[in-house]
Amino acid sequence: MENTVLIPTYRRPLDLSCCLLAIQAQTKPPTQVILVVRDTDKETWKFLSEFDPGTLPLEVVTVSAPGVVAALNAGLAVVNGHIVSITDDDAAPHPTWLAKISDRFCHDSSIGAVGGRDWIYQHNQLEDGFRNTVGKVQWFGRVIGNHHLGIGKVREVDVLKGVNMSFRSCAISDLSFDQRMHGTGAQVHFELAFCLALKKLGWKLVYDPQIKVNHYPAKRFDEDKRQQFHQLAFINAVHNETLGLLEYFSPVQRLVFVIWAVLVGTRDALGLVQWFRLLLIEGSLATRKWLASMEGRWWGWCTWKQWDSPYPIPGSTRTPIQ
């Protein structure tokens, strides 16, 4: 099967260089490598002017809109492989990455997507651990990731992670990444909506811990600073998760989800129970997170219902109702 590798990049030339070297080292060479670059990204354009791709079948796609969604949709428009494998510019796939992905797709024609483990290195230290439950959406709305900690056998999942996810091209021919996702860079949870839409079409999504990439989380150039609380980034992430779940759930599940989200929630999208629990540890920061969570949930509902919210998000370009 012909395999296309799709890499969105923004202002990370050193990380990108390592990523491309890892693609060059694949035991099963790709037939196409698509690099999506922002038109204003001077650092990456300078790097590419000096980079020798060698035998790498590199194609550069230019995008003007910010955010990973616009970049990936621009890349998908020119994919010609039977499989499209997506990774980040701050990741380095293991040499057998593409070979194992192809084997997994060949094994079962009902598989529409394949994902694997990303070995996260924070300041050169491996974030190690083990989890059996990976990539699941519980019936009431709790999303479990753990893609970087998954162990065990190949198993069906509900959602994959952007740094290590591959799709059968024919399965996603009528899909695109949701342009309603909030954020100007990472657009956290963009994968959730896409994977659930694919699952809704009847395709299997599988996770194989032996399909590996090394992941070196690099600096982001948007409102999301990873480990630091930022109100707008928090709101955006909760909005994106909420929108993806509302699109996927049945009417009864939506009702249960809304009640659970308001009353309980998670550490990343606080409801009342989580707010009270974290209040004892984080003090006023917990209250800020809870308020941001409620605003994100509301914005997600409004986007899903195609309403305009009467409450503006600080830093948002959307216009509130007057």
| Burial of 306 per CB tally in 10 Å (0-12, 13-18, 19+) | exposed
Helix (H, G, I), strand (E, B) or coil at 115: strand
The answer to whether residue 265 is domain-embedded is yes
Measured CA to CA, the distance from residue 122 to residue 218 in angstroms comes to: 9
Boundary of a domain, candidates 215, 248, 282: 215
CB 229 within 8 A of CB 171: no
Whether 144 and 8 share a structural domain: yes
Q: Which of 118, 89, 84, 120 lies closest to 101, judged by CA?
A: 84
CA dihedral 157, 23, 75, 303 (to 10 degrees): 40
| DSSP calls for 235-251 | HHHHHHHHHHHHHHS-H
Domain, as residue range, for 242: 231-305
The answer to whether residue 64 is domain-embedded is yes
Boundary of a domain, candidates 161, 182, 215: 215
Measured CA to CA, the distance from residue 319 to residue 127 in angstroms comes to: 41
> Could you count the other beta carbons within 10 Å of the beta carbon of residue 291?
15
Measured CA to CA, the distance from residue 96 to residue 211 in angstroms comes to: 8
CB 209 within 8 A of CB 160: no
- Give residue 313's pLDDT: 45
Whether 61 and 192 share a structural domain: yes
CB 62 within 8 A of CB 37: yes
Q: Please list the rounded mean pLDDT of every run of 10 residues in the chain (322 residues).
A: 96 97 97 97 96 93 96 98 98 98 96 98 90 97 97 97 98 97 94 97 98 93 75 95 98 98 97 96 96 96 82 41 28
Taking the model in full, what pTM does it have?
A: 0.93
CB 192 within 8 A of CB 248: no
Q: Which of 137, 134, 230 lies closest to 185, judged by CA?
A: 230
The answer to whether residue 223 is domain-embedded is no
- Give residue 316's pLDDT: 44
Task: Phi first, then psi: give them for residue 156, nearest 5 degrees.
Answer: -75, 145
- Give residue 307's pLDDT: 82
- The tally of CA atoms less than 13 A away on the side-chain side of residue 107 is 13
Boundary of a domain, candidates 186, 215, 244: 215
The CATH code of the domain that includes 206 is: 3.90.550.10
Locus of tokens 């198993």: 155
- Give residue 225's pLDDT: 66
Helix (H, G, I), strand (E, B) or coil at 268: coil
The answer to whether residue 316 is domain-embedded is no
CB 315 within 8 A of CB 321: no
Whether 98 and 240 share a structural domain: no
